[in-house]
Each structure stands twice: as C-alpha cells, then as structure tokens.
Amino acid sequence: MKLLIKQGRVVDPANGIDAVMDILVDNGKIAKVAKSISEKAEVVDARNLIVAPGLIDMHAHLREPGREDKETIATATRAAARGGFTTVLGMPNTNPVIDDQAAVEFVLSKARKEGVVNVYTTGAATKNQQGKELAEMWELRNAGAVAISDDGNTIPTASLMRKVLEYARMYRLPYLSHAEDPALSEGGAMHEGYVSTELGLQGRPSVAEDVIVAREILLAKYTQGRVHFCHGSTQGAVELVKQAKKAGISVTMETCPHYFSLTDEAVRGYNQNAKVSPPLRSKEHVEAIKKGLKDDVIDVIATDHAPHLLVEKYVEFDNAASGMVGLETAVPLVMNNLVHAGVLTISQAIAKMTINPARILGIPKGTLSVGADADITIIDPNREETIDPKQFESKGRNTPFAGMTLKGVPVMTIVAGKAVMRERRVVG
C-alpha cells in the first residue's frame, strides 16, 4: 500500500528540511522525499499544511496496568493519535510499578495488541519507586525500557541518585528527573506566591525545583551520567540547565504546554483542573520557560498527560489529584502560543517534539529520512478549534483549557504508513 503526500510544507528538522515537497510512503517506510513525485498511490493533498515527522510525547501516564478506570493503553493511544502523536513514552508509576521485566513486557505486549500508536515505556529507577534500592535496570533495558525514572518521586538522597546515575550509565539509559524537593514542597497545593497567599493555599516554592535541578546537574557531572529534566517550570531551572549545557554536562530539559500557556492565576476560583505537579508558576517563570524554549535550553515539549477520575479531581483543592490530560491539547497550544506567537519557528517547535526526544531516548524515530518508519503528522496551522473535552478520546476530561479557541490543529496522524487519524477522527 502506497501513500503519496503531495505539496505539503515538509518540516524535518533532523534533515534540515523546511520546504514544499512530496513524500512517498511505501510498505510502512518513507520511500522518497522530493520536490515532486509521480506515483500510483493514495494521494493526500497537503497544500497549506505542515507535514512533520510523527510527533513523540516522551512523558505520558498511560495508567495501565492498575488504573484502567482512568485510562488504558488503548484509550491513551487513541488520544495520542487524535492529538497528532505517533509515539508515546509511558511513565512507570502504574500499579504495579514498572520496575521489572515482566511489567515492561506487559505494557509492550498490550501496546502491540491494542495500541493505535507506538508505545515505549520507562522503567523505575528504584524498586517500587520507593527511593531505597536500585531497580533491575539491566533487565528493564533488555525487556525494552528506553529510560528510567522514579517519576513523581524525587530520589530522596544524593547518594542514591549518584548510584542510579552510575548504574544507568552502563546501559546508556537516561534518567528522567521530576525535580522537586519533597520536603520544600510538602503540603503545598500550588505555586508559592501572590496568588497562593491570596487564596490561603499552602505554596510549593519554585526553589524546590531549583535545588534538585542543581543537585542532579552536579551529580550528572560527577558520574558522567545522563539526566533529562521532566516538565521544567521555573526560571531557576532554565538558568541552571543553561549553565550546565555551557559547561558540557550531559543534561537535557523538557517543559509542557501548560507551563508556557498558563500562570498560577489559572488556579483562582480553586480550579482543580489547574492543579498540576509541578504547579503552574507565576508570570516571570512562564516568560523564562518561553525564553528557554526559544534559546533551545529546553530541548523537548512533552505533555505529562495525566488523566484522573472526576471523584479524584472535583474535591477540596488540597485533596484534588494533580495533573491534567495533555495529548489532545498539546499541538494546538504549541502552534497557537509558541509558533503563531513568534516564540518558536515551526522547525524549532517540531524538533522539540520529534528528533530531540528521539535522540534523548535513543529510539529510531522523529525523522522523515528515506528508510525511516513512516510515522507522519500533518498539521493545519491555520485551522481554529475550540477545546471541547467531550470530544476527547482520552478517558480523562481534566483540562484547564476547555473552551479555549486555538489556531493550529493536527489533521492527520500516520503510523507506519497507515492513517490512524483523519480530519480529527481516529480511524481503524
């Protein structure tokens, strides 16, 4: 089965391409990329559309096994397809925790059977994510884990963190760090600042993120290990990573759409949908995150897709679960708030969602090179859409973006040469 994508604006940062071209897909692979291709194939008219390598979300909570009431691999990957993602990386904080080869194999086999897009998984860094003993990273990697992380649990001591980095380094596994000092943010429900004081909510200070980022950078330097900072949200973190990169230390950084789209003002009215971890920050941090994206200090945009049940979310603000769904809002937020707003070029934005995460994770994805898997995302940069959680494929409806009208939406998602989303609908 052949597919010919004609006259789209092909943006392939890995190959330095940003030009109107045709792409021929054959047998699930990219067969040819050229100015004009004539071939007998199903034709996709991509005029005025952006044709990008399939987007990669390197931070998603798939919830399976254990919390299939919140999300399953089937529903999460449908959400990914609708959101323009061809590859997702699951986080290990499932139940049971993905801390051994059996759990990795379960996720990957489930994904093969029920997944609509490619699924990779992270393994835990410590047994049961308890921050006490190292997890079996060698077996995790052999079973298919591409990174390790204790996810929401910051490794409690510098000495254990050192061991994690030394051990993971042998297998070239990056450590994905949720950098937030648990003692400094204990009991906090939102960013500590003007709004938290006004609302009478206990704050989580930005410095809680900064001190762990600093610790992780120093340990990465000392051990020669690789640290990737998940969902960076503070000015301090951006500055520290910038300095570390300048010093040649092997660190990378991601942020999420909510950290460049919303401030802590979104919490007003005790809006539980704006409760997330790390918390939405104040304006100066949001500006620093945008600057970090622009300057390429921040390498990756990921979603931190975190579906929750209504009963976990619509309770007292302090008791509400943290997190928001993100797979189906990420592309419009990136397009509207970064690309159209002039913060990022289209190439930069696409790089942060394709080749950059692929390189960090060491997976053969994120390009439109001939011979590569034909994972392709087609985006209509000028189409406007109002975010409507009722349309979500995800089981989660917890988003603070409902009702927002954004410009730039994915219109086609192709995985291994097969369209899995057309015109905003998941197919097949």
Partner 1 sequence: MIPRNYREMFDELNRKNEEFEKILARMKGADELSTKDVLSMDDLTPKDIELIFRITLPFKEFLKRPDKKIPLLKGKSTIQFFFETSTRTRVSFELAGKHLGADTINVGKADSSIGEKGETLNDTALTLDAMRADCIILRHSRAGTPQMIAKEIQAPVINGGDGWHEHPTQTLLDLYTIYEKKGRLKGIEAVIVGDILHSRVAGSLMRGLKKMGVRVRVCGPATLMPCGVEKVFGVKVYHNLDEAIQGVDVAYALRIQAERGATGEIPTVREYSKQYVINERRLKLAKPDAIVMHAGPVIREVDITTQVLEGPQSVVQEQVTNGFAVRLALLSLLVMGKPGGDGKQKTLAEVK
Catalytic residues: 304
How far apart are alpha carbons 203 and 318 in whole angstroms? 11
3-state secondary structure at position 168: helix
* Among 35, 47, 316, 342, interactor with partner 1 by CB under 8 A: 316
Does 192 sit near partner 1 (CB under 8 A)? yes
Nearest CA among 37, 57, 58 for reference residue 46: 37
Phi, psi of 313, rounded to the nearest 5 degrees: -105, -45
User: Closest approach of Cβ 281 to partner 1, in Å?
Assistant: 13
User: Closest approach of Cβ 109 to partner 1, in Å?
Assistant: 32
Does 184 sit near partner 1 (CB under 8 A)? no
Does 314 sit near partner 1 (CB under 8 A)? yes
* Among 42, 318, 384, 388, interactor with partner 1 by CB under 8 A: 318
Contacts of 246 (CB under 8 A, 6+ apart): none
Nearest CA among 238, 186, 283, 146 for reference residue 229: 238
- β-pairing, 85-90 vs 175-177, is unpaired
How far apart are alpha carbons 125 and 391 in whole angstroms? 36
- Residue 54 in contact with residue 415, Cβ under 8 Å? yes
Does 8 sit near partner 1 (CB under 8 A)? no
* Among 19, 170, 315, 427, interactor with partner 1 by CB under 8 A: 315
Considering only the stretches 82-90, 227-235, 316-324, 335-343, report the one whose residues sit in contact with partner 1 under the rule CB under 8 A.
316-324
Does 399 sit near partner 1 (CB under 8 A)? no
Does 319 sit near partner 1 (CB under 8 A)? yes
Burial tier of 42 (Cβ tally within 10 Å: 0-12, 13-18, 19+): exposed
- DSSP designation for 102: H
Considering only the stretches 88-96, 308-316, 325-333, 345-353, report the one whose residues sit in contact with partner 1 under the rule CB under 8 A.
308-316
CA distances 8 to 17, 367, 422, Å, are 12, 16, 16
Does 201 sit near partner 1 (CB under 8 A)? yes
- Residue 348 in contact with residue 421, Cβ under 8 Å? no
How far apart are alpha carbons 207 and 422 in whole angstroms? 44
Considering only the stretches 29-37, 115-123, 202-210, 251-259, report the one whose residues sit in contact with partner 1 under the rule CB under 8 A.
202-210
Does 202 sit near partner 1 (CB under 8 A)? yes
Does 404 sit near partner 1 (CB under 8 A)? no
User: Closest approach of Cβ 154 to partner 1, in Å?
Assistant: 21
Does 311 sit near partner 1 (CB under 8 A)? yes
Considering only the stretches 18-26, 70-78, 92-100, 314-322, report the one whose residues sit in contact with partner 1 under the rule CB under 8 A.
314-322
User: Closest approach of Cβ 315 to partner 1, in Å?
Assistant: 6
Instruction: Encode 3-67 in three state secondary structure.
Output: EEEEEEEEEEHHHCEEEEEEEEEECCEEEEEECCCCCCCEEEECCCCEEEECEEEEEECCCCCCC
Size of the site for partner 1 (CB under 8 A): 23
Does 270 sit near partner 1 (CB under 8 A)? yes
How far apart are alpha carbons 229 and 67 in whole angstroms? 25
Considering only the stretches 84-92, 247-255, 312-320, 331-339, report the one whose residues sit in contact with partner 1 under the rule CB under 8 A.
312-320
User: Closest approach of Cβ 133 to partner 1, in Å?
Assistant: 30
Does 170 sit near partner 1 (CB under 8 A)? no
Q: Which residues sit at the interface with partner 1, rule CB under 8 A?
A: 192-194, 196-203, 205, 269-270, 310-311, 313-319
